[in-house]
């Protein structure tokens, strides 16, 4: 298995989605070769604010600075196959939609799109302005997958992390990774 995956965490609300994503990637260590993580300054701030810790520092992935254009996935030659931006702020979405590669996340997304590889955006914003909608349309037309952070309730998730996992499991499935989350039609753990 030689999957090379970029995880970008931006400063939208929903740090719990990023935490559950990183946790789940650790549980499927046999399914990927490399996971590179980049966080914006606001992503770190929102993580601290919403989760009351700086636990992102403890993950055994390779972390890159937000302006490190020497990171391997700043170039198509490094052949990272999938990029997940979770959660994705409207600012980052706009930079990608307009091709403004002013930080590592927007540059890496630009590379993924031009190389026709898999880009998955997990926006949380609500409601959406016409600007947001146009930017979402532009990135979808360029080949990105939009997987909104819209949790589902039919598995009767018992806590916030389980609720967040209903989104993250869909994201990982779209990335072609097997996590064995709840599938519609299965009995729930609550009867
Ligand atoms: C607590 C908190 C929650 C935020 N939630 C969102 C959000 O849901 N969506 C969004 O687009 N921006 C949100 N922002 C604002 C972004 O962090 C800000 O626009 C930032 O410039 C995005 O830059 P980045 O994409 O490089 O992280 C939030 C900021 C804070 C402090």
Condensed to tens digits (0 to 9), the pLDDT of residues 139-186 reads 999 999 999 999 999 999 999 999 999 999 999 999 999 988 777 777
Residues 6+ apart with CB under 8 A from 70: none
pLDDT for residue 186? 77
- Cβ atoms 65, 37 nearer than 8 A: no
Q: What's residue 187's pLDDT?
A: 73
Residue from 7, 16, 89 whose mutation best tests the ligand 1 pocket (most atoms within 8 A of CB): 89
| Secondary structure of residue 29 in the 3-state scheme | helix
Per-residue model confidence (pLDDT) at position 183: 73
Query: With 60 as the cut, is the pLDDT of residue 72 above it?
Result: yes
Please tell me the pTM assigned to this model. Answer: 0.95
Q: What percent of the chain has pLDDT over 90?
A: 92
Ligand 1, atom 16, lies closest to the CA of: 11
Which of 54, 51, 76, 52 shows the shortest CA–CA distance to 63? 54
The pLDDT assigned to 190 comes to 56
pLDDT value of position 47: 98
* Helices assigned H by DSSP within 78-177: 90-97, 104-114, 130-141, 160-174
Lowest mean pLDDT among 55-59, 135-139, 182-186: 182-186
Ligand 1: which atom is nearest the Cα of residue 124? 8
Residue 137, pLDDT > 70, answer yes
The closest residue, in CA terms, to atom 1 on ligand 1 is: 46
Tell me the CA–centroid distance for residue 178 and ligand 1, in Å. Answer: 30
Two structure tokens written together for 134: 């146009």
Mean of all residue pLDDT scores within the chain: 95
- Residue 89 bridge partners (DSSP): none
Q: How high is the pLDDT of residue 82? A: 98
Question: Of 49, 67, 55, whose CA–CA distance to 19 is shortest?
Answer: 55
* Mean pLDDT value across residues 47-68: 98
CB 87 within 8 Å of CB 18:
yes
């Amino acid at each position: 298995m030689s999957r090379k995956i970029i995880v970008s965490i931006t400063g939208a609300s929903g740090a719990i989605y990023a935490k559950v994503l990183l946790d789940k990637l650790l549980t499927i260590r046999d399914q990927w070769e490399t996971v590179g993580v980049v966080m914006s300054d606001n992503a770190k701030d929102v993580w601290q604010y919403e989760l009351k810790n700086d636990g992102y520092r403890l993950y055994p992935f390779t972390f890159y600075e937000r302006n490190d254009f020497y990171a391997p996935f700043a170039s198509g030659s490094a052949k990272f196959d999938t990029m997940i931006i979770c959660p994705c702020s409207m600012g980052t979405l706009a930079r990608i939609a307009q091709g403004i590669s002013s930080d590592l996340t927007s540059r890496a997304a630009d590379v993924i799109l031009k190389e026709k590889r898999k880009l998955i955006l997990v926006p949380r914003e609500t409601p959406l302005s016409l600007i947001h909608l146009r930017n979402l349309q532009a990135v979808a037309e360029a080949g990105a997958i939009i997987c909104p952070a819209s949790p589902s309730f039919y598995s009767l998730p018992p806590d916030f992390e389980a609720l967040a996992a209903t989104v993250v499991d869909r994201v990982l499935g779209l990335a072609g990774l097997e996590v064995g989350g709840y599938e519609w039609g299965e009995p729930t753990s609550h009867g």
